[in-house]
Amino acid sequence: MNLPLFRRLFALEFKRAFAYRAEFWLGFLGNALTQVAVAYLLWSAVFASTGAHSLGGLTLRDLALYYLLVPLVERITLGAEMSHISGEIYDGTLNRYLVYPVSFFGFKYVTSLAQSLVYAAQMAALAGLCLWVFGVPPAFRFTPGGIALALAALMLGTVLYFSLAACLEMIAFWADNVWSLMVLLKMVLHFLGGGLLPLVLFPAGFRAVLELTPFPYLVSFPLRFLMQDITAAEAVRGFAVMGGWILGLSLLAGWIWRRGARQYAGVGI
Amino acid sequence: MISVTNLSKSFRVHRKAPGFRSSVRSLFRRDWHEVQALKSVSLSVGAGEIVGIVGANGAGKTTLVKCLSGILHPTSGSATVLGHVPWEREDAFRSRIALIMGQKAQLWWDLPAADGFLLLREIYRIPEKQFRASLDELTAALQVEDRLTTQIRRLSLGERMKMELIAALLHSPRVVFLDEPTLGLDLTAQRAIREFLLRYREKHNPAMLLTSHYMEDIERLCQRIVIIRGGEIVYDGGLREVLDHYAPHKRLTVRWDEAGMDGLPEDILPAALGEITGTEPGVLHAKVPREKAAEAASWLLRRLPVADLNLEEEDVGSIIEALIRK
């Protein structure tokens, strides 16, 4: 993947995102605001009925910011578009990437990253506005080091999710449609990654097992750097587990690609 | 530039009977069967040649093109294009070929052509000066300069196909695969694309492999044709030579003055000189052996008060059609 191509793809995806203005604003308002509003109302009710001041060390204000940041993280790591690889295999548009002297995965990764960043920019603006209006809640601390590590975790998270999704989406070489599988993956990720409930609310034993899977690294891991909820040893171990998964899944994706491409029929609409 | 030896390709497809019950059954058990799309195909194509691949639907034309452009892995056999094995898809190979498919858009659907071309400039790493020159030349030749900033999906079919051609030729490929490039286009657009391809060939001398259902494409563009039937090559040679092989006769039409004659004499054309295929008042149609054509014509000129005599080749298109369907 050469640098000018990388830049051109980025610019094109930005252009595309802004070309569909209705989708741009609906995606922004619909997704993020509903998610935050539902979580806020639900947790206010929980706090009111139990009379507790905090849960797992998180106050209502902490939780509100957490649920505001979760869609931002998921937008970046999980990408904006689903089934983009399996779709190309299914309808035969994969043909062009086989004929053009370009890496299919490189192309797809950059495209999805660019799309994510457009949406992430909107979400970041919203989060910034909320922080300015409501102030930083007690569990959060924004230090330059924490932000840098959170960004590093986010970037690695995009690669991790991309390799995981690529492996599953390439099942489309054998099965015609894997859309439902991808929906299932997103739901599992949202739950086991800490998007639905902060992972501190899970039993400690279960958390320890979860930390060996890729799931928490795609949602809650980057946020822990902003909540100062992570020791140096945990951070190192977290990055190592991520690296291991990325390596393993990329090798697996390469293997599936070679087998799939051998029997790809290039048919479609 | 293209060399193919004993190339075979088979697909495994599952058969499903219509109806709900068989849909449910196919969830648990599938009936697979093998379809042999190409059977031991061999051919070679040199620079500057436009070879027409002709065959009925499902004969294996597109499969051959997809194998040679690197999209499909063959089941057996070998091929090299520009010295590379196509399905290994090395960048050095892919940056020197182009594939144009009439039934499938390759350009990005929701981008204007101009943006797609800029993306291709980076993909093929075409130097800026060369890119500008190619783009100007191609857009002028196809007369689409004013449509470059329109989204591809908003263009007419003809305009879209022209953009696809430009996209495929921007990097001046040495081998060009054209799969049904005029499919669904009106006559004017078909003609424009044919003329463009001929001019392009003259200037850049690439090897071209063309599949088409329109006989006119084949007749106007190709000196050589390959006829595929059921995955096998049944003819590979000059377009004109098809006539010698498969059309041993010429069509002879004679118009004559009926005045003072009482119908046609019984022995107006001896069997050795040809066969009468039809008569109308004052007109006679006959099929005459190629080598006896002149003799048959002069025989009739002597026997009848001929007003007009016409000797024609059989129509190449219909001969090929017949060969395809045999």
Mean pLDDT across A228-251:
93
Question: Do B263 and B320 reside in the same domain of the chain?
Answer: yes
Residues 95-114 of A with CB under 8 A from B: 95-96, 98-102
* B298 in the same domain as B178: no
Q: What is the pLDDT of residues B208-232, one digit of tens each?
A: 999 987 888 888 889 899 989 889 9
**Do residues B223 and B317 both lie within one domain?**
no
Does any domain span residue B25?
no
Instruction: Give which of A96, A107, A173 to mutate to test B binding, by max B Cβ within 10 Å.
Output: A96
* B24 is a domain residue: no
Shared domain check, B215 and B310: no
pLDDT at A74: 87
Is B258 found in the same domain as B131?
no
Q: Please, what is the average pLDDT of chain B?
A: 87
- Do B284 and B173 fall into the same domain? no
Q: Which CATH number covers residue B146?
A: 3.40.50.300
Q: Is B10 contained in some domain?
A: yes
Last residue of a domain, one of B183, B205, B239: B239
pLDDT band at B326 (very low <50, low <70, confident <90, very high): low
pLDDT at position B266, please? Answer: 72
Amino acid at site B193: I
B66 touches chain A (CB under 8 A): yes
* B230 and B134 fall within a common domain: yes
Task: Indicate whether B244 belongs to any domain.
Answer: no
Find the CB nearest A4 among B12, B115, B122. Answer: B122
In B, minimum Cα distance to A100 occurs at: B94
Residue after which a domain boundary falls, among B209, B239, B269: B239
pLDDT interval class at A20 (50, 70, 90)? low
The predicted pLDDT at position B170 comes to 92
Sequence ranges of the domains in chain A:
3-262
Question: A22-50: per-residue pLDDT in tens?
Answer: 766 776 677 677 877 888 888 889 888 88
Q: For the domain that residue B290 is a member of, what is the CATH number? A: 3.30.70
Write out pLDDT tens, residues B176-199: 999 988 888 888 888 888 888 998
Mean pLDDT score of chain A: 86
How many A/B residue pairs have CB atoms within 8 Å? 63
Does residue B292 belong to any structural domain of this protein? yes
| Distance in Å, alpha carbon of B102 to nearest chain A alpha carbon | 12
Judgement on whether residues B73 and B113 belong to the same structural domain of the protein: yes
Domain encompassing residue B200: 2-19+30-239
Q: Is residue B263 part of a domain?
A: yes
Q: Do A16 and B91 touch (CB under 8 A)?
A: no
| Predicted local distance difference test score (pLDDT) of residue B76 | 93
To probe the interface with A, which of B11, B23, B72, B87 has the most A CB atoms within 10 Å?
Answer: B72
Cα distances (Å, whole numbers) of residue A198 to A193, B15, B227: 8, 49, 66
B36 touches chain A (CB under 8 A): no
Given B190, B221, B239, which residue is the final one in a domain? B239
pLDDT for the residue numbered B51: 94
Distance from the B314 Cα atom to the nearest Cα atom in chain A, whole angstroms: 37
Same domain, B231 and B305: no
Q: How many Cα atoms are found within 13 Å in the side-chain-facing hemisphere of A22?
A: 0
Reply yes or no on whether the pLDDT at B320 is more than 80.
no
Residue B210: predicted pLDDT: 92
Structural domain total, chain B: 2
At residue B78, the pLDDT reads 93
Whether B8 maps to a domain, the answer reads yes
pLDDT digits (tens, 9 = 90+) for B61-86: 889 999 999 999 999 999 999 999 99
